[in-house]
Amino acid sequence: MQIHRPSDARGRADFGWLDSRHSFSFGQYYDEDHMGFGALRVINEDKVAPGAGFGTHPHRDMEILSYVVEGALEHKDSIGTGSVIRPGDLQRMSAGTGIRHSEYNHSKDAPVHFLQIWILPERGGLEPGYEQKTFPPEDRDGRLVLLGSRDGGDGSVTIHQDVALYGTLLKPQASVSHALAEGRKAWIQLVRGTVSVNGRTLKAGDGLGLDTAGALSITAQEDAELLLFDLAAQ
């Protein structure tokens, strides 16, 4: 089975200071055919105006990832973390039993463009936590690099769920492949560029879900950046 989620079919919220595209149901956008993909619950592509952002608000029982495409995102939370997230960084915040945080555009002059990703944790009631790591572009050039995983292996951030998150940067005609095992499913989110996945063309903002075991072959038609989630089939 393949689920193609074209960029222009996503939900949208435009508040002036925030332009957000929702791959799955979120907030005021509801689509019973797109409620998530396994443990993957939210992929929002957000563009936030200079100096604007999300004021302090609560979360619980969710693994929340932030992946910055352009600009810089400033984070503060109730467990004492303060950081700036830039391109190449992956932030993981475990909301667990409860956490409050804010996210603002760090710049007063330029917008910030980032993906906000929510993953259901393997169990409720986890201790709130925070982790952030940098993955230089030269390391991701032409190869799938493990950015997040259940055990935090290979320098990845720890995600409290049976999921492996990979990222890559591809030049035109460059290819990467991923073996999807039995009992697994994959979601590919194309951040920018154009790629072919097993013959299907994806453009920037598109998502593709697959649940058939076998090799996934990804070839760039132009400079491209993407995320690949390997999840337990639920």
CATH code of the domain containing 98: 2.60.120.10
Q: In this predicted model, what pLDDT tens digit does every residue of 25-60 receive, in sequence order? A: 999 999 999 999 999 999 999 999 999 999 999 999
Range of the domain at 123: 2-232
Cβ proximity of 24 and 229 under 8 Å: no
Region at 108 (left for phi over 0; alpha for psi -120 to 50; beta for the rest): alpha
pLDDT value of position 234: 73
Give the distance, in angstroms, between the CA of residue 84 and the centroid of all CA atoms in the same chain: 17
Q: Report percent pLDDT > 70 for the chain.
A: 100
- Please check whether residue 194 is in contact with residue 172, taking contact to mean a CB–CB distance below 8 angstroms: no
% of residues, the chain, pLDDT over 90: 99
Cα–Cα distance for residue pair 216/221, rounded to 1 Å = 16
Tell me how far apart the alpha carbons of residues 70 and 123 are, in angstroms, rounded to a whole number: 33
**With contact defined as beta carbons under 8 Å apart, do 167 and 226 qualify?**
yes
Tell me the residue type at 124. G
Between the alpha carbon of residue 86 and those of residues 33, 91, 124, the distances in Å are 33, 10, 29
User: Each residue of 113-144: pLDDT tens digit?
Assistant: 999 999 999 999 999 999 999 999 999 999 99
Q: Shortest CA distance to 55 belongs to which of 22, 17, 27, 97?
A: 17
Instruction: Give the total number of structural domains in the chain.
Output: 1
